[in-house]
Structure 1
Amino acid sequence: MWYPQKVTLAPTDPVSVEEAKHQCVVLHNDDDALFQALIAAARDYVERYCNTPLATQTVEVKCDAFCDFGRLPMAPVQSVTSIAYVATDGTDATVAPGDFEGLFDGLEASIKPAYGKQWPVPRNGSRITLTAVVGYTALPPSVKHAMLLWIAEAYEKRENDAPPSWTAFDALLCNHRRGA
């Protein structure tokens, strides 16, 4: 079982204020703070919608057993920083980098023992901590376009009570959603 992740190195937003202003055809700087807030909100919304981190960030996530590594709770994964656990004698330990292999296939990610290796035995009742760098190295163009659509609609309708229409948004992101 995986527990909620903790971001240890925050991401930078994958859309710049200039790109968002260009999408909205805004030539002044009066709304830069608003655009920064809309960009952050769009990134948060798309990450929750797709169940995947967009921008490169470092996360720490805990699980109960090494068998949980068969499907990581987040993807895409760029690299594993460390795998820490409590050994049966109660000491803190880490899995050596050469003792495991990451299988990072787009929106599916897993970690398995390296050939000829096996997972160590953790102390009963303790948790295993995975620290990894996750998110896209380069945001897919359709995801970026969906974010820009979201930002533009939020900017234009910021004082409107009408519900947003996300049909283009959904269409752009449907292939980037990761099942729970």
Structure 2
Amino acid sequence: MWYPPKVTQAPNEPISREEAKRQCVVLHDDDDALFDALIAAARDYVERYCNVPLATQTIEVKCDAFCDFDRLPAAPVQSVTSIAYVATDGTDATVAQGDFEGRFDGLEASIIPAYGKQWPVPRNGSRITLTAIVGYESPPPSIKHAMLLWIAEAYEKRENDAPPSWTAFDALLCNHRRGA
């Protein structure tokens, strides 16, 4: 069982303020703070909607057993920094980089023992800690476009006087959603 991830290195926003302002045809700097907030809110919304980290970030996530590595809780995965566990004698230990292989196939990521290797035996009741770099190096254009649509609509309807129309938003993101 995986426990909620802890972000240890926050992501850079995948959309710049200039891109968001261009989408909204805004030429002044009066709303820069608002655009920064809308960009962060759009990233957060899309990450939750798709269950996928959008921008490169480092996470630390814990699980109960190595069999949990059959499906990692976050994807896409760029790399694994470390796999730490408590050995049966109670000492802190890590799995050597050469003792495992990442299978980072898009939105389905897993880690398996390297050929001829097997997972070590952790102490009963302890948790295994995976530290990984996750998220897109550069999000797909459809995700960026959906975020820009979200930002534009949120900027235009700041007063919340009409319900949002997310048909295009949903259509752009439907292929990037990851099941829980």
Paired residue for 2:114? 114
Paired residue for 1:164? 164
CA distance, structure 1, for counterparts of residue 13 and residue 143 of structure 2: 13
Structure 2: gaps of 5 or more residues: none
CA distance, structure 2, for counterparts of residue 160 and residue 130 of structure 1: 41
Scaled by the length of structure 2, the TM-score of the pair is: 0.99
The structural deviation recorded for 1:167 is 0.5
Is 1:175 the counterpart of 2:175? The answer is yes
Residue identity matched to 2:157: K
Structure 1: gaps of 5 or more residues: none
Scaled by the length of structure 1, the TM-score of the pair is: 0.99
Please give the per-residue CA displacement for 1:39-67, whole angstroms capped at 9, x wherever unaligned: 00000000000000000000000000000
> What SS does the aligned partner of 1:158 have?
coil
Paired residue for 1:27? 27
Equivalent pairs, count: 180
Residue identity matched to 1:42: A
Residue identity matched to 2:109: A
Is 1:98 the counterpart of 2:108? The answer is no
Paired residue for 2:58? 58
| Runs of 4 or more above 3 Å deviation | none
Paired residue for 2:45? 45
The structural deviation recorded for 1:160 is 2.8
CA distance, structure 1, for counterparts of residue 58 and residue 163 of structure 2: 34
Paired residue for 1:89? 89
Paired residue for 1:149? 149
Percentage of pairs with the same residue: 88
Residue identity matched to 1:163: P
Measured on the aligned residues, the alpha-carbon RMSD in Å equals 0.4
